[in-house]
Amino acid sequence: MKMKLRFIFPAMALLFLGACAAVEPENNGPDALPETPAEKDVETEIPMPSEPESEPAYTGILKTIWIGPELKDCTGVAPQKCMQIKWEQDADWGLFYNQITGFTFEPGYEYELIVEERQVENPPADAPSLAWHLVEITSKTPQQEGEDTAAFGSTQWMLVDMGQSLLSTTQIMITFNLEEMQISGNSGCNSFFGGFTLDEGQIGFGPMGSTRMACETNIMDQEFFFLNLLAQTSEYQILGDQLKLITSDGQSLIFMAAEKE
């Protein structure tokens, strides 16, 4: 009996050690490999194509306007500088006392703009009831003053408009002498002459002299009206073959080139 037990115990010990060797011990040390998580389905978000930008919605009225190449003195609440504006291309320049949102004025250029004109709700008593916003700069044309000034001396100018009907039996002409800064011409009945000055779009005339011929009453009335406007002229514009002399109160004398030397 003792011999059987002596063999049984060593055999059980060997079986126990073998079972322990088959089980891998858990490794929680610093060199342990991390567990690999199970793969998960990943949803990929596909970006949608952006919609094309639509045209802006305008709530006001779209208008085409023209802005002159220089600022002019004007008086609103206080003395200030104003842009020159035309609401029609063939109209005379007027003063624009307001601002155009989005537009930056640069002297020396004549602009053609498309603007949106909007009503202002409940404007203050001293503020305009309309506001203007830039939509597009259609054109920006440099104005060459040197070339304009030279055109004075190389051209004889014939009056075609002064705000009233011209007599078909008369021609009113004017010529500028840049070397002597003198003008001469014919006002329909009499010849006239005098001095003038030029300065950055500004023009001024000194005292005028003339002959003393007598003509029909309607011719004399037209001559008086012309010479009176000429004496009040303060600005000039040359656009191609057209010369425009503008008075301080916005009236104009329009001439066309009659002869080039």
Q: What percent of the chain has pLDDT over 70?
A: 72
pLDDT in tens, 68-97: 988 888 887 778 889 999 999 888 889 999
Distance (Å, whole) CA 51 – CA 204: 59
pLDDT range class, residue 150, cuts 50, 70, 90: low
Report which of 176, 179, 225 is spatially closest to residue 205, judged by C-alpha positions: 176
Among 1-10, 76-85, 155-164, the range of highest mean pLDDT = 155-164
Residue that wins the pLDDT comparison between 125 and 213? 213
Distance (Å, whole) CA 239 – CA 235: 13
Q: Which amino acid type is present at position 106?
A: E
pLDDT range class, residue 23, cuts 50, 70, 90: very low
**Res. 207: pLDDT tops 70:** yes
Indicate the average pLDDT of the chain.
80
pLDDT at 178: 85
Whether the Cβ atoms of residue 188 and residue 202 lie closer than 8 Å to each other: no
Among 67-81, 119-133, 178-192, 232-246, the range of highest mean pLDDT = 178-192
Q: Which residues does 194 contact at the CB level (< 8 Å), separation at least 6? A: 182, 183, 205, 206, 207, 208, 209
Q: What is the mean pLDDT of residues 110-126?
A: 87
Give the β-pairing of 100-101 and 130-142.
parallel
Distance (Å, whole) CA 5 – CA 3: 6
Sign of CA dihedral 68, 249, 64, 57: positive
Residue that wins the pLDDT comparison between 153 and 103? 103
pLDDT at 73: 83
Continuous segment of H or E residues that includes residue 253: strand 252-260
pLDDT range class, residue 54, cuts 50, 70, 90: low
Q: What percent of the chain has pLDDT over 90?
A: 44
pLDDT range class, residue 107, cuts 50, 70, 90: confident
pLDDT at 26: 52
pLDDT at 245: 93
Sign of CA dihedral 125, 129, 135, 141: negative
**Res. 53: pLDDT tops 90:** no
Report which of 64, 88, 78, 72 is spatially closest to residue 246, judged by C-alpha positions: 72
pLDDT at 257: 87
Domain 146-260 adopts which CATH fold?
Lipocalin (2.40.128)
SS3 82: strand
pLDDT range class, residue 258, cuts 50, 70, 90: confident
pLDDT at 180: 87
Phi and psi dihedrals of 147, rounded to 5?
-65, -40
**Res. 8: pLDDT tops 60:** no
Distance (Å, whole) CA 156 – CA 258: 6
